[in-house]
Amino acid sequence: MFMRIDHIGIACHDLEAKIALFSDTFELTVVAREVNEEQGVREAMLHIADGEGGSSYIQLLEPLSPDTPVGKFLAKRGEGVHHVAFGVPDVAEAMERLAGKGVRLLDERPRHGSMGSEIAFAHPKDVGGMLTELVQAAGAPANVKTDRM
Ligand code: MC0
């Protein structure tokens, strides 16, 4: 089902401070910055490596307000790993496969994610406490076929 780890999402209070920390410590480069209103985050993608299955990143997430998923996570657990995102060739198909195994999906249909991707989340309680994200990268085969107009 999975082609790569697409990214590890890290929840933080201060995006600029964490960009400085991660880029200095791990010698990573920021390749994208976005505000995703639907998900309630301001975020940055730091590139790690490119492989056969696609690219991998660290994703730094600052909440837009306390009543968002990342805002609530920070209040409850503090800064740290928020989710693990796996690259899939077709997010709708991966959602069906997980649902068929009894995993609750937090999205009824794919939503817009970082860098033009299509994403969906699976409930952490159904996969060992790990908030799991499925990512179909922009330009992945199923995206090329989709009429996105
Ligand atoms: C909550 N829980 C987690 C968790 N967040 N467990 C592991 N990892 C997390 N990140 C646990 C809580 O501790 C609690 O367990 C139970 O799940 C229910 O949590 P809650 O606090 O009662 O409920 P909510 O309202 O905070 O909802 C949690 C839920 C929500 C995972 C359903 O955060 C959600 O829908 N997340 C998906 C969307 C998302 O996270 N978007 C932000 C990233 P106990 O044992 O205490 O009952 S957006 C993003 O990443 C995009 C931009 C991208 O990648 O492109």
pLDDT at residue number 145: 46
Q: What percent of the chain has pLDDT over 90?
A: 93
Phi and psi at 98, nearest 5°, equal: -70, -45
Q: What is the pTM of this model?
A: 0.94
Say if ligand 1 is within 6 A of residue 18 CB. Answer: no
Say if ligand 1 is within 6 A of residue 124 CB. Answer: yes
pLDDT at residue number 146: 41
pLDDT per residue over 85-125, tens digit each?
Answer: 999 999 999 999 999 999 999 999 999 999 999 999 999 99
pLDDT at residue number 140: 76
Q: Which residues of the chain have pLDDT under 70?
A: 141-149
Locate 19 and state its tokens. Answer: 């960009």
Which domains does the chain show, CATH number per domain? 4-136 (3.10.180.10)
Locate 108 and state its tokens. Answer: 């009824």
Q: Outline where DSSP puts E strands in the chain.
A: 4-11, 29-36, 41-51, 54-63, 80-87, 111-112, 118-122, 132-136
Mutate to test the pocket of ligand 1, among 33, 39, 60, 68 (most ligand atoms within 8 A of CB): 39
Characterise 54 by phi-psi region: left (phi > 0), alpha (psi -120 to 50), beta (else). Answer: left
CA 144 / ligand 1 centre spacing (Å): 30
Distance CA(6)–CA(67), nearest Å, equals 26
